[in-house]
Structure 1
Amino acid sequence: MDRRTLLKRSLALAAFYGLPAAPLLAATRQMPAIADGEAQRFSFDWLQRLAREMANAPYRNNMRELPETLASLTPQQYNAIGYDAGHSLWHDLDGKLDVQFFHVGMGFNQPVRMYALDPDSHQAREIHFDPDIFRYDGANVDVAQLEGEDTLGFAGFRVFKVPSLTERDIVSFLGASYFRAVDDTYQYGISARGLAVNTFAESEDEEFPTYTRFWLETPAPDSTTFTAYALLDSPKVAGAYRFVIDCQPTRVVMDIEKHLYPREAIKQLGIAPMTSMFSCGTHQRRMCDTIHPQIHDSDRLTMWRGNGEWVCRPLNNPPVLQYNAFADESPKGFGLLQTERDFEAYEDVIGNYHERPSLWIEPRSDWGKGEIQLMEIPTTGETMDNVVAFWKPAAPVEPGDSLTFAYRQYWSALPPVRPDLARIRETRSGMGAFPEGWAPGEHYPEEWARRFAVDYVGGDILNIAKNGPPIMAQLEISGGRTSDIQIFQVEEFEGIRVIFDWYPTDASTDPIDMRMVLEGDGDPLSETWLYQYFPPPPEQREHPPHPLDD
């Protein structure tokens, strides 16, 4: 079972809080037919007040057991549950967007209440669960157990856009506070979360806040933008969220505003968290003993720091759990990116990793001091999300605080911004300690070393390499020693390759931090390359037997 499924199965059901009654006002847009609840007045200010009031009261865990027919579903049976498109939320709008709801069941045992919201009258009506809006053919669900269960709620919702209003969704909110979006490839990959709490805080258990309610604002028929509001709750924090979701032709852009109200002190608060998978890539081959050259949803963490520096941190599948923190102030942006877009890099006709979107975060307010934190978990396959990244504010989080963050998410093949300097194309590693171009012949070299190659493109770097000023690779390492730094001009990808060998100087297996930037006449010519290498134990620092050796 993968980590995400384990997490979802451990979620607690949040409390149901009533909306204040308000007189029904004349609506200028037709309320969706499946919204059958009593009309209630709604505003984002009211939602913030509700979240604050919840945070001032003890957490109410109203977990209820699902009917046995839903609780015992297998993944195959759950996936067989269909949705009747005629009951889609905006079906009668005949517009460019529509919404369908996910059924509760299996590991998705957190009922979420859904509301249709008219933006003109500011009236909301609840959408109650009804088995008639689902299709259960092949799902082995005893529908008789669901009769009268209108408080079951839903597990989440997904959004469709023309011309695929009933076939391929483009936005999905499902499980705890997880959500995802796609670009024009319709290929899901990386996930986001509404909030991370104590993801890797020592002596604290990780907590998974959940979206317990959504209000979905009816869009104009000709619009590809809609607004969703969400109530988040957990033992440590309550929150009010607004998502303005723009379903553009080649990407999805979300403007997110969140207001957080802690019930308790939080040691590690993760803002704009994202979760991805990295099994193996060009620089780490130990887990790629498959027909696929690479396996990953994302290949790097990229950061645009508050001081203007661009940083590329290639992802790892480490031998042991790893935490890294990158201090910053007022960051300009960061994200987990999938920069390798060629099918040949993966040769995967099922996963389609070359089509997986990147996720870029652009703060829309001053976030002040803090850290971009990165967690990498060892994994033996591609079914587990083993990479987490988010922003952690430097200021302590105490009960009674009121915290506001605004940011924009870009779900697209590549971020909307990039440095004018040379960019990291790829990082490679392999056997070292012999001259490049002279692979070992009869015998391997006696001394063991690891070779690294870092490719740079863009920023006119190839022309600079040809015509000056001389390029210098400023390399720093936290342990061991390096030698044989070489720079090659590579016409094939219109860039340069920097090669160096790393040699151990002791028996330590502690990770080695490497930092490199290209300079010319003392000025930076490239983004900063950060890398973490895990030396093998001394008994493994030997070359494999050479076929010509006795």
Structure 2
Amino acid sequence: MPGQPGLSVIIHRRSVLGLLGSAALLQCSTSLSSAAWADTAAPAAVAPEGVNAEPFSFDILTAAMQQRATTPHQAPTKVEGFFSSFTYDDYQAVQFNPERARWAGPKAGFNVQAFHLGWLFAEPVLTYEVKGGTARPMMFSTDDFRYYDRVAARVPKHEPLPGVAGFRLNAPLNRADLFDEVVAFLGASYFRALGRDNAYGLSARGLAINTGLGKPEEFPRFSKFWLETPAPFAREVVVYAALESESCTGAYRFVIRPGADTEMDVTARLFFRNTVDQIGIAPLTSMFLFSEKNRATFDDYRPNVHDSDGLAIYRGDGDHIWRPLNNPPRLSESYFAETSPQAFGLMQRDRNFESYQDAGAHYERRPSLLVEPLGDWGKGAVRLVEIPSDLEVNDNIVAFWVPDAKPVPGTMMEFAYRLRWGALAADPFADIAFVKETRAGVGGVSGVENSDGTRKFVVDFEGGLLATLPADAEVKAVVTIAGGEIAHQALSEIPGTDFWRLVLDISAAPGSTVELGAHITGYGRKLSENWLYQWVSA
């Protein structure tokens, strides 16, 4: 919110990425049979052989970023050019020409398209192509873009560009004969990816520094990228990136495999110039406006509006946590202490169009994103930040891993993890019931005036072994509460379904922050994941 240091950029990221992503899905699919796939369609896109060529490897990049961390930070320079005066409307009138896609050809498994400089993107990003252990600059000019309407007359022909704003990778994701956008890197260290039949939603970042700590947040940026030329018909591609900020430098390696669930294996090697209060590893950014538990405050025909509906944590001991997301009345945060977690992520569990009724945004197609640590991350916490929002164009949800170990200037911290983007299953473990839905409303008996001021929470647990039990099974709900009191509690099977419903009436003093937790047990075992929720009473 305005006045909250370090949060305003997070809130407004969606207004940029959402507009570009939605257009990209329509504009950047390229048929294999088009002229773009003729051998002669793609122009020479890198520096001539031997010109500006340098040896390259991940270790070479790592050494360079380690050395750079020993020197003072230099803020990126904004470049001047015909694009400097681009407004939002101007920027929408510029598209990459798909016939100029890099790597295009009859044996291509991927192609590369660039985002233009201008509007919010005044700091050039440099790109290089890596082949045979040698990197050469990828060059872009005005010949690579299509300029329409209001900007066409203002653009010089054959003008070399000093860099680009970012790039996207296309591959045969949904059809064998069509190259769809798979991943886009654009703005600071933000990037987004799609699984099969997904539409763009939440984003990831390279690193978070001092997020939501009541002080200015640093936004590290990927200043350079190296794209490794894939083999013919390749099913994966490797991208390297240099990360820079006032306090930190980093060397990143991304191994990207498109599919039903698009996977990205990330290795981050970080070097700190000075001490920072907190770092966030594998930060995720999403949007949650309303659902069945807070819809009453929104006059909207749609039942739900969100890119993600919950935070999932798969703990190191095999236990599972589901924390439904909030749009709180004030800035809210939660820490979930963990040791060597299996995974965590922001998920979109509800995949039914009927739950959203939005034929334009199609929130049922927004990807879930799961972070799976590769190796032992040790002790730390998953931190969730929820920011009040009244518009769906605002990203107001942030989640990331906070390691207990603090960064030490002059030393390297390395983290490896896998990102899985797609319509991920609600729970990969069939014997544990998962939280199907969380609803909330006025407490007490329905249809009767609520005189005690309670708030009702209704939690549905679906699937697993719990779904096989009869209504009279010896199961119970284990409920915990802090900051309030339980006025009423009931657990029952819903006839004709495969889920059980837990109903809680909660009382709390006005303005209290109430922490709730619940799971179902029976027959000597836990039968459901852990439902956790934070409620701020009015």
Q: What TM-score does the superposition give when structure 2 sets the normalisation length?
A: 0.88
Q: What amino acid sits opposite 1:430 in the alignment?
A: G
User: AA paired with 1:461?
Assistant: L
Distance 1:6 1:384, change over 3 A: closer
The alpha carbon displacement at 1:471 in A equals 1.0
Give the 3 Å change call, closer, same or farther, for CA 164–65 of structure 1 in structure 2.
Answer: farther
Of the candidates 106, 112, 122, which is equivalent to residue 119 of structure 2? 106
Determine the structure 1 residue equivalent to 2:447: 439
Whole-angstrom CA distance in 1 between matches of 2:273 and 2:447: 62
Deviations 1:237-268 (A, max 9, x none): 000011000012x1210000110001111111
Tell me the secondary structure at the aligned position of residue 318 of structure 1: coil
Q: For 1:299 and 1:126, how far apart are their aligned partners in 2?
A: 42
Offset of 1:523 from its aligned partner?
2.6
For residues 12-61 of structure 1, give each alpha carbon's deviation from its aligned partner in whole angstroms, at most 9, with x where no partner exists: xxxxxxxxxxxxxxxxxx99821126222111110000010000111122
Partner of 2:440, secondary structure, is strand
Aligned to 2:228: 217
Answer yes or no: is the 8 Å Cα contact 2:433–2:467 preserved in 1: no
Counterpart Cα distance in 2 of 1:55 and 1:422 = 48
Deviation at residue 94 of structure 1 after TM alignment: 3.5
1:524 is displaced (CA, Å) by: 1.4
Change (3 A) 1:452 1:88: same
Task: State the match for 1:60 in structure 2.
Answer: 74
> 1:461-497 deviations in whole A, cap 9, x for unaligned?
13224363x1111111112221331122124441100
CA distance in structure 2 between the aligned counterparts of 1:146 and 1:262, rounded to whole angstroms: 43
Is 1:449 the equivalent of 2:460? no
Change (3 A) 1:481 1:244: same
Match of residue 191, structure 1, among 189, 196, 203:
203
- For 1:474 and 1:160, the matched residues in 2 are separated by 48
1:407 aligns with 2:417: yes
User: Any idea what the Cα deviations from partners look like across 1:115-135, whole Å, max 9, x if unmatched?
Assistant: 1111xx211110123111111
Q: Please name the residue that 2:36 is paired with.
A: none
CA deviation digits over 1:66-91, x for unaligned, max 9? 32x42332323212212222221111
1:455-474 equivalence runs, <5 A: 455-466=460-471, 468=473, 470-474=474-478
The residue that corresponds to 1:520 in the other structure is 522
Residues 169, 186 of structure 1: 8 Å contact kept: no
- In the alignment, the residues of structure 2 paired with residue 165 and residue 84 of structure 1 have an alpha-carbon distance, to the nearest angstrom, of 19
Whether contact under 8 Å (2:11, 2:396) holds in the other structure is no
Q: CA RMSD in A?
A: 2.4
Residues 281-430 of structure 1: pairs in structure 2 closer than 5 A: 281-415=291-425, 418-419=428-429, 420-430=431-441
CA contact (8 A) 1:32 1:90 kept: no
Q: Which residue matches 2:499?
A: 495
- Secondary structure (helix, strand or coil) at the match of 2:471 reads helix
CA contact (8 A) 2:76 2:123 kept: no
1:24 is matched with none
Q: Aligned pair in 2 of structure 1 residues 371, 139: CA closer, same or farther (>3 Å)?
A: farther
1:545 aligned partner: none
Q: Do the aligned residues in 1 keep the contact of 2:198 with 2:367 (CA within 8 Å)?
A: no
Find the residue that maps to 1:140 and give its secondary structure. helix
Does the CA-based 8 Å contact 1:157-1:172 persist in structure 2?
Answer: yes
Partner of 2:151: helix, strand, or coil? coil
Counterpart in 2 of 1:270? Answer: 280
Aligned AA for 1:59?
H
Is the aligned partner of 1:483 residue 2:494? Answer: no
Amino acid at match of 2:458: A
Moved more, 184-193 or 271-280: 184-193
Sort the Cα spacing of 1:340 and 1:492 in 2 relative to 1 into closer, same or farther, 3 A.
farther
Task: Report the Cα distance in structure 2 between the residues aligned to 1:235 and 1:3, rounded to whole angstroms.
Answer: 17
Is residue 9–residue 107 contact of structure 1 (8 Å, CA) maintained in 2?
Answer: no
Aligned to 2:531: 529
- 1:519 deviates by 1.2
Amino acid at match of 1:495: F
Question: Cα offset for 1:288?
Answer: 3.0
Alpha-carbon shift at residue 65 of structure 1 (Å):
3.5
Deviation at 1:143, TM superposition (A): 4.8
Once residues 157 and 118 of structure 2 are traced to their aligned partners in structure 1, the CA distance between those partners, rounded to angstroms, is: 12
- Paired residues in the alignment total 502
Q: Deviations over 1:506-549 (max 9, x none)?
A: 3x41210001111114531111110011111xxxxxxxxxxxxx
Counterpart in the other structure of 1:15: none
SS of match in other structure, 1:466: coil
1:160-219, Cα deviation, whole Å (9 max, x unpaired): 1134887741211110110001121240001000111111224x3101100011111111
What residue number does 1:71 align with? 84
Q: Distance in 2 between matches of 1:173 and 1:302?
A: 25
Question: For residues 267 and 130 of structure 1, do their structure 2 counterparts lie closer, same or farther at Cα, with a shift above 3 Å needed?
Answer: same
Structure 1 residues 117 and 129: alpha-carbon distance in aligned structure 2, compared to 1, 3 A threshold: same
Indicate the percent of aligned positions where both proteins have the same amino acid.
37
Amino acid across the alignment from 1:335 = G
> What amino acid maps onto 2:91 in structure 1?
Y
Structure 1 position 110, deviation (Å): 2.1
Give the match's secondary structure for 2:457: strand
Alpha-carbon distance between aligned partners in 2 of 1:7 and 1:336, rounded to the nearest angstrom: 17
| Amino acid across the alignment from 1:479 | G
Counterpart of 2:30?
A: none
Q: Which of 35, 54, 62 does residue 40 from structure 1 map onto?
A: 54
Q: Which runs of 5+ in 2 are unaligned?
A: 3-7, 17-39
For 1:45, what is the secondary structure of its paired residue? helix
Distance 1:9 1:503 in 2: 38
Residue of structure 2 in register with 1:200 after alignment:
212
1:512 alignment partner AA: V
**What amino acid is aligned across from residue 235 of structure 1 in structure 2?**
E
Alignment of 1:231-242 (within 5 A): 231-242=242-253
Q: Distance in 2 between matches of 1:210 and 1:450?
A: 44
Q: Which has the larger radius of gyration?
A: 1
Match of 2:110 in 1: 97
Residue 412 of structure 1 aligns with an amino acid whose one-letter code is G
Structure 1: distance between partners of 2:273 and 2:330:
33
Per the normalisation by structure 1, the TM-score is: 0.87
The 5-angstrom pairing of residues 11-26 of structure 1 reads none
1:88 and 2:65 correspond: no
**Amino acid of the structure 2 residue aligned with 1:514:** L
Letter in 2 for 1:309: D
Letter of the 1:103 partner, please give it: H
Structure 1 spans left out of the alignment, 5+ residues: 11-29, 537-550
Is the Cα–Cα contact under 8 Å of residues 79 and 124 in structure 2 kept in the other structure?
no
**Residue matched to 1:171:** 183
Deviations 1:294-333 (A, max 9, x none): 1000000000112221000000000000111111111110
Residue identity matched to 2:406: P
Partner of 2:19: none
Paired position in structure 2 for 1:546: none
CA distance in structure 2 between the aligned counterparts of 1:461 and 1:6, rounded to whole angstroms: 42
What secondary structure, in the 3-state scheme, does the structure 2 residue paired with 1:515 have? Answer: strand
Task: Decide whether aligned partners of structure 1 residues 144 and 459 sit closer, same or farther in structure 2, where only a CA change above 3 A counts.
Answer: closer
Q: 1:93: how far off? A: 5.5
Paired with 2:355 and 2:12, the residues of 1 have a C-alpha distance of: 31
Deviation, 1:142, is 5.4
